[in-house]
Structure 1
């Protein structure tokens, strides 16, 4: 999921494999509704394909979203074979060890950067430099890592609740600590908030009904000490974190829509909320002018860049910022239908989690919703494939619980 080329190859192989066994696919009316919900973004692109100025760019936009058709058909079509807990644990362990390998590689290949950071120089860039060394945008990487860490956290409690072997408990706790450390390493604001919210959701939803009040209190104290200790150590080693979450974020709020009035905005405005609000303001104004059908899937970013120039916002025009909000992005591209499809897509995930009372799915919903409030992950291949895959898995698990007579807890 993190790497576009390997992920694209695996999706192709996955599709070919399932075509060989296409007769094994089984669908119900409910499963088709879920498939249409998951495929709704690409269906919207097809519906309004005529609105693109460029035929080839329109096709390219659709090509990025084809996994939203493949995943639901082949995964939900085999929903009875999906092993939900095994999948999320395998995913969380594998991703954690892959990132551990890349962290070791980063410190070996870039010793000069490591030396600089240890001397507390340019600490604001460490997460982005690490993400760049992997070849992925830092917020996208941390969206994945936040979900991985929540999954790892869930399995720590799963081990204790099921009285599993001590070795397994220690292994799962180590995976959890590593995954949380990587979220801190990449250090994007929304991911850190999301991962802490995810931990709270896991604790409340999954643990409260299964463990005595005394054990809950002891477990809570232990976790707070461990997480608090890690955060304290990290902040001590990275004092820029205090600025990032306070003065840097909320600086220049009086310059929304007027970022060029800031002295050297390319230095001081990049990580501010004022920059996001300026982008959103422009995207909203341009969207309103192009109702009811928007500017077209392939023309959203070019038209927004043109609008920056027309309104003399040179800083935004120079760096060609996208909308950084999925609801606004779809409003700009597809008009009135755009944000309605985003709401359908994201909030259906929330419904599945709420209906199942499943902390992992609810946490994914929170992570993906908030990530798309400040970014636009249904534009990016990694966000499309990431959400399409897990949405399909969650739907399969929901169907299992609704239509399978055997309700026994699944073995991991």
Structure 2
């Protein structure tokens, strides 16, 4: 098939854009990934690799490679194949994105992604106010505020922590381009648009209101401020910009907390209640109401996962058997509350330790921290913030089990790797080998 380089580049980057903004919608995104793979299969001759890109591709694909390596350990080979199927994007993305790394338009792609994702969420927010007026009325009157983020996320078809992981990343990118607009002295209208989009994305993270996402977003803001202001402006100007930013963000945050009194309880008493009941949640009266989303429940799950993992070293219980074995362990240890709701590990390091044994957490560490390495090497706040988001999110959840974590991280990991490789080529530190 013949196609000009210009048209190939447009189609290739167009696929990345649509896959990125469709990431919160599993089925459409899955079809886009399949079409992306099929498109690239027609143009295999365009793939160009370096020794470094091949090594980086192996790191990105490492969770999938680990599943294949220990496939024999599954009790059900059919379930093992289904587990591998979920991770196949970790082969598609590094192969075709790193193989075309010179074509990636990193800053244009991230800006378009953050702008259109914010616009899509705005559409669904307006839709939510129309289809769920009773919930919105309760929210505005401070009633059952804990359920709002989960109900909104469910209306889109995604789990609230996963949605907010995406949204915190989007808010950080939007802030990056707000600072960028001022630094490059863009027109007044562009500055207003950038700031409006940022404000909306900031609000959406507060609205969905998951703890880790809010924390990660604020840390991301600090990283963007450091890399975009402190490192590029003199001290006096940097302090001035920081003061204005703190006043604006602080005012929005305080206003939101004032209108959302449950937020105070959620981030203090509710989160750390009953810490003396670790592993003994059934001793709490009505644990569904009092500790369903509390830290003590997470720690109780981790304790069980750790104990079960130690019994199944060195190779774990198998990819297909991690959750069933953990559910059985809850029953064996008379933890009826955990058994009733069949809680997953809620920690990616422990999940991989349980499934794959000693190699599991090593692969998770390599996968996540290589993203951080790329960010620090190119000194880019967006990449470093993504690393921090994905690392901390996987301490309290297990996003390498689900599409919205596997494909999301695999896509952006490959894009970040492409940008890093471009920088190495430009600096004369890397050459194409085939």
CA distance in 1, matches of 2:220, 2:140: 30
Alignment deviations for residues 46-92 of structure 1 (CA, whole Å, 9 cap, x no partner): 00000011111101100000000000110000000000001111110
Per-residue Cα deviation, 1:175-211 (whole angstroms, up to 9, x for no partner): 1100000000000001111000000001112221212
- Is the contact made by 1:235 and 1:242 (CA closer than 8 Å) also made in structure 2? yes
What CA distance in whole angstroms lies between the structure 2 residues aligned with 1:60 and 1:215? 55
Q: Which residue of 2 aligns with 1:410?
A: none
Q: Distance in 1 between matches of 2:279 and 2:427?
A: 57
Q: Does 1:214 align with 2:236?
A: yes
Mapping 1:289-368, distance limit 5 Å = 289-368=311-390
Equivalent pair of 1:42/1:66 in contact (CA under 8 Å): yes
**How many angstroms apart in 2 are the aligned matches of 1:249 and 1:78?**
45
The worse-fitting range, judged by mean Cα deviation, of 172-181 and 202-211 is 202-211
CA RMSD of aligned residues (A): 1.0
3-state SS of 1:378 partner: helix
- Among 135, 143, 146, the residue aligned to 2:165: 143
Alignment of 1:82-101 (within 5 A): 82-101=104-123
How many angstroms does 1:119 deviate by? 1.7
**1:286 and 2:308 aligned:** yes
- Structure 1 partner of 2:60: 38
Residue 408 of structure 2: aligned partner: 386
Secondary structure at the residue paired with 2:185?
coil
Q: What SS does the aligned partner of 1:232 have? A: helix
Q: Is the 8 A contact 1:48 1:334 kept in 2?
A: yes
Number of positions where the alignment pairs a residue of Structure 1 with one of Structure 2: 407
- Residue 276 of structure 1 pairs with residue 295 of structure 2: no
Shift of 1:20: 1.3
TM-score by length of 1: 0.98
SS at match of 2:61: helix
Gap regions ≥5 residues in structure 2: 1-22, 430-434
| Alignment correspondent of 2:393 | 371
Determine if contact 1:161/1:211 at 8 Å carries over to the other structure: no
Say whether residues 1:56 and 2:78 are aligned partners.
yes
Deviating 4+ runs (over 4 angstroms): none
Structure 1 gaps of 5+ residues are 408-412
Deviation at 1:214, TM superposition (A): 2.5
Q: TM-score, normalised by structure 2?
A: 0.93
